[in-house]
Amino acid sequence: MNIFFGTWILVLTLAAFYIMSDAIQRRRTFYLFLMFVNVAVLYLIVECVMESEMPLSGTWIFLFAALTVIETGLIVYLHLWRKRHISLASIKDGLDGLTDGLCYYYEDGRLVFVKPAMNDIAREVTGRFATDGRLLWDCLANSRAFGSACYYDWGSGQVLGMPGGNIYRIVRNRCSFLKSPAYEIIAYDITEEYNLGLKLRERNERLAGQKKRLLEINDTISDLTIEKEILQTKVNIHDDLGKALVGVRSYISDNIGKKELLGLMNTAISMIDAQKINDRPDDYATVLKAAADIGVNVEITGDLPEGEDDKQLIAAAMRECITNTFRHAKGDTLYIRSYVNDNSEKAVQFTNNGEAPRGTITETGGLSYLRHLAERRGAGMHITSSPQFVLLLTLPDVKRNEYENI
């Protein structure tokens, strides 16, 4: 009976430990050892009971069960505790494996922990290994170096370049150690990132140069294309001249009439005349001619800007104001005054005769486009509606170079 009972408990114990060890996964050997210890204890209890010829009481069973539960609880707790905590040795091993520099020190400069990489930095920056955290940070923050280390501009701050070629970004944070205020200095190794950044910067500069050349080529090609068109048209004129000459021959031979011959000659002569016209109109000249054609006088006081960008802007403003003069104001004269204002800026003011605006002018269509042009040029644009329409453009001093910021 006792043997049967003991065997039953043994089987139960084995099953319980198997389940627990399976759930816990590792350290099965340890748990197996524990299991056999418990079995041995159980066996001894059973033997004692048998030898003393006393019946196995519930107290023994309860005690053994309690022992099993306590042991299991302790094992699980220990296992979970180990998962949530790591040893100081593990921390140090882990930190030593990082390439970054690390240093902890109290407020008075006493060091708590310094990584070898930080010691190398300290030697280059202070001339000796780290002994005082405050001194080390003072040198780093003020870009001081003892050895051949140097500082480079990077982003919004500076980075430290070591003689071996490593580049570090230094950061300091407040923390606490054993409930005392402390600081941590971290030197992030950004060597790869920095070198890639340099390559990227070189590449961008090269691309910016290529882009500039490509845009210049675009302009050249535009001119070439126009020349090509002109040339083709001249070839056509040459053909027309040929036809005219043939026509003369035919006229002499009485094959065509005078009227036809005159038509051919007229065509040829007109084409020859057209070649004499300057094919490159000036921005101002084009607008002034258009104004004259549509019956709007333009009175200019002062010298209008001659820079290409400024000319485009002023010519655009002239077009809008001329349109405004006859379309809205029902006037016939546009007044343009060019001067230097109190801020030494070149200013160009446009007003007109005729009716004043009925309300505040809203910038739509042409005026909206004009503002876009002005902003792109870096110029100021101001419109007044009362007592009369006034458009004022103020031009920047320095021409914006679109390639400078690449």
Partner 1 sequence: MKTYKVMIVEDQAIARRLFEMIVDNSDDFELLYSVESASVAHMYCDRNCPDIILMDVIMQDRSNGLEAAARIKKSHPQVKIVITTSMPEVSFIDKAKSAGVDSFWYKEADSEEILTVMRHTMEGKSVYPDSTPVVTLGNITSTDLTAAELDVLRELTKGASNVEIGDKLFISPTTVRTHISNMLAKTGFANRTELAIKARLEGLVIPESE
Residues that bind partner 1 (CB under 8 A): 207, 210-215, 217-218, 221-222, 224-226, 229-230, 232-234, 236-237, 263, 267, 270-271, 273-275, 277-281, 283, 286-287, 290-291, 293-295, 312, 315-316, 319, 322-323, 326-327, 365, 376
**Given the complex with partner 1, which of 148 and 233 has the nearer CB atom?**
233
In the complex with partner 1, which residue's Cβ is closer, 41 or 315?
A: 315
Nearer to partner 1, 90 or 312 (CB): 312
Q: How far is the CB of 272 from partner 1 (least distance, A)?
A: 10
Residue count of the chain: 406
Spatial separation of the C-alpha atoms in residues 324 and 385, rounded to whole Å: 12
Q: How far apart are CA 8 and CA 234, in angstroms?
A: 116
Q: How far apart (Å, rounded) are the C-alpha atoms in residues 245 and 239?
A: 10
The amino acid sitting at 66 is: A
Contact 371, 363 (CB under 8 A): yes
- Residue number with CB closer to partner 1 (48 or 235): 235
Q: In the complex, what is the shortest distance from the CB of residue 352 to partner 1, in angstroms, rounded to a whole number? A: 14
Extract the tokens encoding 337. 């005054």
- Min separation Cβ 290 and partner 1, Å: 4
CB of 251 to partner 1, least distance (A): 19
The Cβ of residue 104 has, within 10 Å, a number of other Cβ atoms equal to: 19
For CA atoms 6, 12, 15, 16, give the dihedral sign: negative
Query: 65 or 237: whose CB is closer to partner 1?
Result: 237
Least Cβ distance, residue 317 to partner 1 (angstroms): 12
Residue 149: which of 164, 169, 134, 171 has the closest Cα? 164
Q: DSSP for 362-403?
A: P--HHHHHHHHHHHHHT-EEEEE-SSS-EEEEEE-SS---TT
3-state class percentages of the chain: helix first, strand second, coil last, to nearest 5:
55, 20, 25
**What is d(CA 336, CA 299) in angstroms, rounded to the nearest whole number?**
6
User: Do residues 292 and 285 lie in contact, with contact meaning Cβ atoms separated by under 8 Å?
Assistant: no
Cβ proximity to partner 1: between 92 and 234 the closer is 234
Q: How far apart are CA 315 and CA 308, in angstroms?
A: 10
Contact assessment for residue 118 and residue 187, using Cβ atoms and an 8 Å cutoff = yes
Write down the least CB distance from residue 388 to partner 1, Å.
21
Of 128 and 213, which has the nearer Cβ to partner 1? 213
The nearest distance, CB 35 to partner 1, in angstroms, is: 60
Q: How far is the CB of 368 from partner 1 (least distance, A)?
A: 12
Q: Which is closer to partner 1, CB of 160 or CB of 321?
A: 321
Using an 8 Å Cβ cutoff, are 130 and 111 in contact?
yes
Judged by CB, which is closer to partner 1: 99, or 218?
Answer: 218
| Shortest Cβ 187–partner 1 spacing (Å) | 33
3-state secondary structure of 167: strand
Rounded CA-CA distance 346/393 in Å is: 8
CA 84 to mean position of chain CA atoms: 40
Which C-beta is closer to partner 1: that of 69 or that of 224?
224
The residue with tokens 């109109």 is 281
Smaller CB distance to partner 1: residue 61 or 208? Answer: 208
Q: Least Å distance between CB 200 and partner 1?
A: 12
Q: Which residues contact 60 (CB under 8 A, 6 or more apart)?
A: 45, 49
In the complex, least distance from residue 289 CB atom to partner 1, rounded to whole angstroms:
8
Indicate the SS3 state at residue 107: coil
